Amino acid sequence: MSMESRDEARALDAADPLAGFRDRYVLPDGVIYLDGNSLGPMAASVPGEMAQAVEQEWGQGLISSWNDAGWWSLPVTLGEKIAPLVGAAPGQIVVSDSTSVNIYKAVQAGLQMRPDRNVLVTEAGGFPTDLYITEGVMQSERRVERRLIANPADIDRHLDADVAVLLLSHVDYRSGELLDMKAITERAQAAGAIVIWDLCHSAGVVPMSLDECNVDLAVGCTYKYLNGGPGAQSWIYAPKRLHGEIRQPLSGWWGHAAPFEFEQSYRAEPGIKAFLCGSQAILGMRALSAALDVFADVDMALVRAKSIGLTGTFIELVEAECGAHGFGLFSPRDAAIRGSQVALTHPDGYAIIQALIARGVIGDFRMPDILRFGFAPLYIGYEDVWNAVAILRDIMETGAWKAPEFAVKAAVT
């Protein structure tokens, strides 16, 4: 696709079958929000849902709302709303705890499923918290050794008979590179490993079928492309064929087969709820619930098609309009192996991102020189792409990014 004018962008937006979704989100005036891969915007239905949860359910219903308002079941009911987006049949996903905690549970469960093996394989450049958690697993499971691989393309030579678990990100958090879930899962399983996919940067924007790919375990975030709200709880998947084999050390009462019997000993729930641990911040889950309701009407194939269109157009436009300004392309050029984000490189990337934010184009910076832009097809359109690149070009041509206020390096979220 090429796009040569704002009029052309508007024509593409006018023909967009997803265009109607933009009104279901709140976006500040004057902002082009290309950071939904970090924190998704708020669905317009959230304030009403939160008021209901707070004023009626908590304020008036009090303790009875655990049953009457469905609080107790939220890990399951929210899991069922995520299931169709990631190609999972019902009964295989729960929402609970943070992504980091769920990675810990998944890795521990994977190790338990392969007691005669002791190696954990993951990417050296993987999402940092995934790496940190695998260090924590090594601390408590002293038999475990970790093998860090530089490139997922290399996995075959690392998949020997010692490998218990392979942990990979479906979409790389920096480059946006999208791995072939089906092929890698197959190869790892042929070598006898349990495969865990981190779907934080793909769920809600890349169609997938966890069931068809025969995935063993998967963990995903809800506050990026699923728009669940700041820090909203994470989800975890295990297929029915593995239920009953789930053993993980965060064996709290929510994962007990009979939590209200107050038995002295732990008995894991026989299904996916064996991955639950303790009480969840219900108010956070209610915002997520409203956010997921929007997805009930979404066709993920349309999302993927538009995502490829937006990211491809952005790459072409940056190269056409800003070619003289020293940007590199860090994301794959091939749309088939690209998620829904575009990462550029520039030695002055930090200052350029700050200058863009000051002009209302919200992207983010990742060390050492990466400018990251996420394109969420439910609320970003082609005219946004056009305008973002026009502003980037202006900032580069005028040297606006050199203003002293953009040079200060501070904590970046």
User: Among residue numbers 113 through 142, which ones bind a second copy (CB under 8 A)?
Assistant: 124-125, 128-129, 131-133, 135-137, 139-141
Query: Under the criterion CB under 8 A, does residue 59 sit at the interface with a second copy?
Result: yes
User: DSSP letters along 84-119, please?
Assistant: GGGT--TTSEEE-S-HHHHHHHHHHHHHHH-TT--E
Q: Which residues are CB-neighbours of 48 under 8 A, at least 6 positions away?
A: 290
Q: What is the DSSP letter of 260?
A: G
Select from 248, 289, 313, 331 the one that contacts a second copy (CB under 8 A): 248
User: Residues 223, 295, 373, 406: which is the catalytic one?
Assistant: 223
As measured in angstroms, the least distance from the Cβ of 65 to a second copy is 7
Cβ-contact 90, 83 below 8 angstroms: yes
Query: Under the criterion CB under 8 A, does residue 51 sit at the interface with a second copy?
Result: yes
- Minimal CA–CA distance to 65: which of 73, 51, 269? 73
Select from 77, 80, 211, 253 the one that contacts a second copy (CB under 8 A): 253
Q: Is 127 considered catalytic here?
A: yes
Stretch that binds a second copy, among 237-245, 255-263, 324-332, 335-343 (CB under 8 A): 255-263
Name residues contacting a second copy, limited to 62-121 (CB under 8 A).
62-63, 65-67, 71-72, 97-101, 104, 108, 112
Query: Under the criterion CB under 8 A, does residue 225 sit at the interface with a second copy?
Result: no
Q: Is 162 considered catalytic here?
A: no
Mask for 393-412, x = binds a second copy (CB under 8 A): ------------------xx
As measured in angstroms, the least distance from the Cβ of 73 to a second copy is 11
Name residues contacting a second copy, limited to 280-339 (CB under 8 A).
280-285, 287
Query: What residue type is 3 in one-letter code?
Result: M
Q: With residue 345 as reference, give the H or E element that holds it.
A: strand 341-345
Q: Is 275 considered catalytic here?
A: no
As measured in angstroms, the least distance from the Cβ of 190 to a second copy is 28
Pairwise CA distance, residues 60 & 47, whole Å = 18
Q: For helices 128-140 and 99-113, what crossing angle results, to 10°? A: 50
Kindly list the strands in the beta sheet with 370-374, ordered across the sheet, starting from the edge strand earlier in the chain: 328-329, 341-345, 370-374, 364-366
Just list the catalytic residues: 127, 198, 223-224, 372
